[in-house]
Amino acid sequence: MSIAVNEISFNQLQPQTLAECISITQQPDIFPITCQFNETSLKLSQQCQLINKKPIKATIPSIPDTSEIELVLFSDVTFQQLLNISQQCELEITAITAINHRNSLVSLRFSVLCTNIETSKAQLANIALTHKIEAALIKNAPKLHQAGVLVMDMDSTTIEIECIDEIAALAGVGEEVAAVTEQAMLGELDFAQSLHQRVSKLVGSHENILAEVAKKIPLMNGLETLITELKKYQWRIAIASGGFTYFADHLKDLLLLDHAHANVLEIIDNKLTGKVLGDVVDAQAKADCLLSLQKQYQLPFQQTVAMGDGANDLIMMNAAHFGVAFHAKPIVLKQADSAINFSGLDCLIHWLA
């Protein structure tokens, strides 16, 4: 059985973006849109609305059903970039499964076939970084409109700073502490060891420095939009941090989050003792937090998402169905399911199905 399509030559498409050829206001009942694309032409189901194109009517043989693997790109990506991605990542595009209008941006989801998704994801990550675009290759993406759980790192993820570095600067030991923080983020130093080492340098500092940092804490771009959108669909949102409860609890109250898990600084007579109370919230503790919330709220595993930027987030990200590296270190980019490299946190809304 053959399928009727419209065919457009690649020469017509080459300089254009996806949104300049394919209408971003398709009728919802026509998805999935049959799609074949190569260096010669673009072939789309005849029901698909095009912009200022005079295609040739053609037919193609019946193609496989839509895949569980999707390539997600924003509508300002060019057809030349799409071709480069499909060739270099060894992807066969079979359909457009959705066009989503979210947080003032438009993204297209392509059903794709590939031989080795891990190899393809690694290649896509390189292309995205090189060409400064956001792109994702996702298998069985969590669904935005179905309740789920998102657990995020705090420092340099939900907020723009590393709190301990800011505290240390006010305490007069900023450079010493920042150097140890960087080693821990890169995975060059055991996290618990690095935490005790850094906190010990704060001994004798007045607790007022914590309030000073909290008062000016800068939220990461897109955080509030992401939270607002997820809460529309009963998502549970939490912070799991190797930082401190003083700031994690502040954010929980400010943003109406469901949970915050972090380390407790010991304070005696209004001064930091240079010690942390209780067990350190390390990489495994973050993962345990995510799985505990999934169980508590009885959510499907496919609806679990973790996001972070440092080596201490990797176990949590691997424990989730979908682990996202956010403005992350190279060691994290290599192991994440997907990444957000240039945009705000609300880019995650487009990675969800």
- Say which CATH number the domain at 331 has: 3.40.50.1000
- Which range of residues forms the domain containing residue 109? 2-139
Query: pLDDT at position 224, please?
Result: 98
Indicate whether 30 and 97 sit together in one domain.
Answer: yes
**Do 61 and 203 have their domain in common?**
no
- Domain with residue 32: its CATH number is 3.30.70.260
Q: Per-10-residue mean pLDDT for the chain, 353 residues long?
A: 88 92 94 94 93 84 82 97 97 96 97 96 96 97 98 97 93 87 80 89 94 95 98 98 96 97 97 94 96 98 97 96 96 95 98 98
Q: Are residues 169 and 98 in the same domain?
A: no
Do 194 and 112 belong together in one domain? no
Rounded to two decimals, the pTM is: 0.94
CA 189, 334, 346, 117 torsion-angle sign: negative
Residues 274 and 159 in one domain: yes
Please report whether residue 187 resides in a domain. yes
Q: Which amino acid is at 37?
A: F
Q: Say if 144 falls within a structural domain.
A: no
| Nearest-angstrom CA–CA distance, 124 and 338 | 9
Provide the pLDDT for residue 351.
98
Q: Confirm whether 107 is domain-assigned.
A: yes
Last residue of a domain, one of 87, 116, 139: 139
Q: In angstroms, what CA-CA distances link 188 with 37, 67, 165, 331?
A: 44, 39, 18, 10
- Overall number of domains in the chain: 2
Residues 155 and 86 in one domain: no
Q: Note whether 238 and 330 are same-domain residues.
A: yes
Tokens read off for 279:
């067990």
Q: Are residues 300 and 185 in the same domain?
A: yes
- Kindly state the DSSP code that residue 220 receives in the 8-state scheme: P
3-state DSSP call for residue 294?
helix
From 108, 139, 170, the end of a domain falls on 139
Domain boundary pick from 116, 139, 162: 139
Active site residues: 153, 155
Interstrand relation of 105-114 and 135-139 (parallel, antiparallel or unpaired): unpaired
CA terminus-to-terminus distance, the chain: 30
- In this prediction, residue 64 carries a pLDDT of 67
